[in-house]
Amino acid sequence: MSRYTIIPAAVAAVALLPGMALAQQTEPYRYAYGPHMGWDGGWYGMIFGPFFMILFLAIVIGLIVLLVRWLGGGTWPATQAPNQQGGRTPHDILKERYARGEIDKDDFEERKRTLGE
């Protein structure tokens, strides 16, 4: 037999073991009725239920957000610095304007000092 038939058979056998053990009991299983219903924990054990539900939902929502960010490229456009959009810095734009003749040398030097500060 191949391992593809052995593994499901083993899983099925393990899954059926509790049922076989219950079938071999000499007396039928009796439910524990009463104020504690068999677990003797009282009501204080249920206090943490809403806390764990909120924690579980927060983890699921966090994983969904991380998955969407990962599938979307990892960065949001709002997190990029304004001077890095397009790959040009203010100094590059100033140099281009000076090269085109839009501003003279004095104006170029003054704006260059202003940008440097």
For 70-92, the pLDDT digits (tens) are 888 756 555 555 555 567 888 88
In this prediction, residue 58 carries a pLDDT of: 97
Res. 61 pLDDT band, cuts 50 70 90: very high
Own/partner contacts of 15-19, CB < 8 Å, gap of 24 or more, are: none
Asked whether the predicted pLDDT for residue 63 surpasses 70, the reply is yes
Most confident of 5-14, 16-25, 68-77, 101-110: 101-110
Torsional class of 97: left (φ above 0), alpha (ψ -120 to 50), beta (otherwise): alpha
Q: What is the chain's mean pLDDT, rounded?
A: 75
Per-residue pLDDT, averaged over 38-60, amounts to 78
Q: Both tokens of residue 82?
A: 């304004």
H-assigned helices in 1-117: 3-23, 48-71, 90-100, 105-116
Q: What is the rounded average pLDDT of the residues 12-20? A: 67
Q: Return contacts of 74-77, CB within 8 angstroms, 24+ apart.
A: none
Evaluate if residue 24 carries a pLDDT over 70: no
Banded model confidence at residue 22, pLDDT cuts 50, 70, 90: low
